[in-house]
Amino acid sequence: MRAVVRHEYGTADVLVVDEVPVPRPGRGEVLVRVDAAGLDRGAWHLMAGDPPAVRLALGLRRPRDPGVGSELAGVVVAIGPGDRSGLRIGDVVLGAGLATFAEYAIAKTTALCRRPSDLDAVAAAALPVSAVTAHQAVVDIARVTDGQRVLVIGAAGGVGAYAVQFAASCGAVVTAVSRRDKHAAVRDLGASAVVDRERVDPRDWGVHDVVIDIGGRRPLAQLGRLVARAGALVLVGGEGGRGPLGGTSRQVGAALRSPFLPFRARMFVSTVTTRALAPVVEAVADGRVRPVVDRVVGLGDVASGVSALEAGSLVGKVVVVPDAPTETA
Ligand SMILES: NC(=O)c1ccc[n+]([C@@H]2O[C@H](COP(=O)([O-])OP(=O)(O)OC[C@H]3O[C@@H](n4cnc5c(N)ncnc54)[C@H](OP(=O)(O)O)[C@@H]3O)[C@@H](O)[C@H]2O)c1
């Protein structure tokens, strides 16, 4: 089968399309024919081996598994031994998988849910990691309620585009922080107000009941000034930074300092499970949330999609469709 692989850590230019064997599902796993696969920033971190601490798990000098991609929508074509999940060959699913930028990919049965017939594969593939993360941040952790003032930093990105929608659907008054060229898009997703992060000083971003930092680059002290007393700060992203933990060291610092702060400060690592996918699929079905796809690329154009992610030019997600034609030479 064809798959996007990388044999060393790096940015978009380490990616190539190669012929590789179709993987075999183990216990608790299924093989999925990939109809579409979303690109999320977490997959980029694994591709790049950044922060360095992830290399302890993935391979110190080079990645042991060359595959890339974590989200998928497709059809179950083989089931691992001893399966008790109830999934059947031919089931149409979405969820998280391994090395999903390929014609076939392995997924744990516990990380999949059935895809409703009116949700197409491209839209479904734009949901799993990003929308589940946004739902967990807004609903489970911040517990956003009607009328609250919610600031979403990184509002136009993969997670942010859903965080804005979930917060607005909870009845919050959402202020979206993004580059100015994305303001029309974030208003369209439900933001009542917008802030141009490149031109407006963070001291003028206002005070909010809930601050959800997805951009992941702001110092904790700066974020703290944006949170109302007894409010909540949810740290989703962790970018930049030095040392083995890179930008995630800020989240660890916030967790340690949380008991001494006048607001709740929470970090979390999202998990895509059948149960976590359910409210996301339900929100899409009843129209509270819509999948946000910036562009669709074929396997041969994954590098250009990754470059766009690195450049910060996307609104929502890149979705990879294995049989889409390659456009770049
Ligand atoms: N905790 C978890 O379980 C979890 C799960 C998924 C993702 N994440 C993390 O969440 C972060 C975002 O993921 P994503 O998929 O949404 O990435 P993304 O699609 O690249 O979006 C990131 C957004 O951050 C904004 N941004 C860039 N520089 C910024 C800055 N200096 N200040 C404020 N905003 C800035 C960008 O928008 P503008 O340029 O328009 O501002 C961009 O839209 C990543 O760090 C990712 O690893 C964490």
Q: pLDDT by residue (tens digit) across 158-208?
A: 999 999 999 999 999 999 999 999 999 999 999 999 999 999 999 999 999
Distances (CA, A) of 325 to 60, 167, 202, 244, 303: 35, 37, 43, 39, 14
Mean pLDDT of all residues in 141-166: 98
What is the SS3 assignment for 119?
coil
Question: Are the CB atoms for 36 and 134 separated by under 8 Å?
Answer: no
Mean pLDDT of all residues in 73-78: 98
Q: What is the Cα–Cα distance from 301 to 4, expressed in whole angstroms?
A: 10
Question: Are the CB atoms for 117 and 38 separated by under 8 Å?
Answer: no
Mean pLDDT of all residues in 134-142: 98
Token pair 């594969």 is found at 121
- pLDDT of 88 strictly over 90: yes
Whether residue 47 has its Cβ less than 6 Å from ligand 1: no
Nearest residue by C-alpha to atom 37 in ligand 1: 154
Pocket-testing residue among 40, 132, 141, 159, ligand 1, by greatest number of atoms within 8 A of Cβ: 159
Distances (CA, A) of 106 to 22, 243, 257, 258: 9, 32, 39, 38
Q: How far is the CA of 158 from the centre of ligand 1 (A)?
A: 7
- pLDDT of 216 strictly over 80: yes
Domain boundaries, the chain: 2-127+291-320, 130-267
Pocket-testing residue among 40, 166, 214, ligand 1, by greatest number of atoms within 8 A of Cβ: 214
Whether residue 179 has its Cβ less than 6 Å from ligand 1: yes
- pLDDT of 329 strictly over 60: no
What mean pLDDT, rounded, does the chain reach? 96
One-letter amino acid at 137 equals A
Q: State which CATH number among 3.30.450.20, 3.90.180.10, 3.40.50.300, 3.30.930.10 fits the domain covering 2-127+291-320.
A: 3.90.180.10
Whether residue 291 has its Cβ less than 6 Å from ligand 1: no
Q: Which ligand 1 atom is at minimum distance from the Cα of 182?
A: 40
pLDDT at 256: 86
pLDDT at 217: 92
Token pair 């610092």 is found at 253
pLDDT category of residue 44 using cuts at 50, 70 and 90: very high
Q: State which CATH number among 1.20.1250.20, 3.40.50.300, 3.40.50.720, 3.40.50.1000 fits the domain covering 130-267.
A: 3.40.50.720
Mean pLDDT of all residues in 233-251: 87
Whether residue 268 has its Cβ less than 6 Å from ligand 1: yes
pLDDT at 252: 83
Nearest residue by C-alpha to atom 45 in ligand 1: 237
Whether residue 237 has its Cβ less than 6 Å from ligand 1: yes
Lowest mean pLDDT among 12-16, 234-238, 254-258, 309-313: 254-258
Q: What share of the chain is helix, strand, coil (3-state, %, to 5)?
A: 30, 25, 40
Nearest residue by C-alpha to atom 26 in ligand 1: 215
Q: What is the Cα–Cα distance from 251 to 208, expressed in whole angstroms?
A: 20
